Every structure is written in structure tokens, then in C-alpha cells.
Amino acid sequence: MAFSLQLQQIFVSPSRFCFQSKSTNPQIIPNLTKRPSIHPFAYAQNDATSNIEAAKSSINSSAEEVSLPPELRRELMPKHIAVILDGNRRWAKKRGLPVALGYVAGIRALRNFVKLSYNWGIRALTLFAFSSENWFRPEAEVDLLMGLFDKVVKDELENLARAGIRISIIGDSSKLPKSLQDLIEKAVMTTKANSRLHLVAAVNYSGQHDVVQACQTIAQKVKDGNIEPEDINSFLVEQELQTKCTEFPSPDLLIRTSGELRLSNFLLWQLAYTELFFSHSQWPDFGEAEFLEALSSFQQRQRRYGGQSS
């Protein structure tokens, strides 16, 4: 699918993920402090300057995690966070901007979120980037999103790989543009040995279909005589879900932005005992302060998994 002219005009200055080690400033990440909402065209201008500084910094993928903010305790940090990145379109419409600019601002928020997660020791992020239902959106918007996926992966792959970040994709990628499929395969293969942070993107993903395909796979194993029906249990089902690609298949924390209070067909099996946090901030406005609020809320909860409180 061709990269749209509209997207080329908007994304005039690609910016990159930049990660720093503990040997630099232990808590403040460059360009990561919360800023007031500004026009996305200004984002591109600001990022053009930050790229010069980022290019001067070397990345140490084995670096220790930086110090946490004082309100967080490392032993209570979630290992796996799932995120529904909601509100990009509403963010743009609220400001009288084209929808495309909402997605561009959303990418900036994602860039910051990954940097914080990386530096604070989160081990896995699963991002709901594109649901199987999103195909019903206007064709121009779908084309825009496919172009954004393509551009972001191209711009960020080398830097993410050097930082020790592993990339995986869950969902039915066969329906994506062939060029994007090839790029995804390259990203997965390039980063498969990395272990600092596992970045899982759910693209053309359906939680219901994930469970269905797991059941179909297990049913075929029964039909082939490899297992008996009585061998089927929750552990076996989990092994056939698409999140088997990560060391931590069940998220500890789900964050959904923009005030919506539903799961929207995302990781339905995996979220059985996940702590849920719903933010009223739209995704482009979800910054360090909002992330700290979510993590602080998580750390104050007692996870009992159906048992009694201690």
C-alpha cells in the first residue's frame, strides 16, 4: 500500500526512540517531561532538534534500570503492561485538527511511554494498535494507519534493536499490505534475541478469535491422537494463545485511555486476573504523570487471584 501524500506532509520529521543508561541523568529522560498540548506540527519541529542530540548518544542495551520516581516501589512494579491506545481521533477533533494529526500526536505519546517503561524496568508491553474491527473505519483512515505502521517500524527498528528491545506481532498479519508484512517479519527476526523489553503489537487482533484459534489447534491435536480430551486444561489453552510469544503471557496491568470502560475484544483470556486502570486522558495526552498515576494505583492494590486477603 502506497504511503499517502497526506501522511508524508504531516510526518515531515521522523523522530526516534532514544534510551539512556544509568550513567547519565538517573531519572530525567531527555524530551520526556510533560508538556502542554501543542499543535502536532510543532511536535515535528521539536523532534527534529531532539534527533540531533539523540544521534550523539550511544545506547547500552545491558545498562541497569534507572532510579524509579520516589512514589514507586521496584518490587511492586508490573512485569507486563497491556495498553488500549484510545482517543487519538477525539483528541484531534476536540482541537479542530485532521484525524491524521491525532495519530501523529499519539505516536509521540507512545514513544514517551516506551521510553519510560524501558527505563523503569517493565519487561513486556502489549499495545492494541489495530483491532480486527478497525477495518470498518473509512478507507482513507485505514490507509493512513497502515502507512503510519510502516513508517514507524522503518524509522525505529534500528534504534529499538540496539536498545535490546524485542518486537513481536500478534493478530492476523496476512491481511496487512504485503510490504508491511515483510517489514514486520524483518523486525521480528532482527530483534528475536533481545530481552531488555518485549514490545508486542496487536495488529488486526481479536481476543475472541485468539481463543477460537487456540481451541481449534487443541481440537486438531485431539483428532490426531496427540492428546486426550481430559488433557485439556487452562494451561494447555494458554500455550496456544498468540501471547505465548512472551515470557509473561498474562498482563499484570491494563491501561485504557480516553475514559472508555470496556475491553473491546482485547486479550479476553489473558486479562482474567489483570488489574484494570481507566484514564480519562486521551492517548496523545497520556504522559509521565498519567503513567505514574496508573502505576501508583496498581501498587496500592492487593492481588488475591480469587483467594482471601492477607
Q: Which of 195, 36, 203 is nearest to 122 (CA)?
A: 195
Beta strands in the chain (DSSP E): 80-84, 124-131, 165-170, 197-205, 253-256, 275-278
Cell numbers for 66: 534507572
Query: Buried b / exposed e across 217-255, counting CB within 10 Å, b at 16+?
Result: ebeebeeeeeeeeeeeeeeeeeebbbbebbebbbbbbbb
Residues marked active site are found at 86
- Retrieve residue 123's grid coordinates: 519487561
Cβ within 8 Å of residue 215, ≥6 positions away = 237, 240
Look at residues 19, 196, 210, 31 and name the one whose alpha carbon lies nearest to residue 125. Answer: 196
Count of Cβ atoms closer than 10 Å to residue 32 Cβ: 17
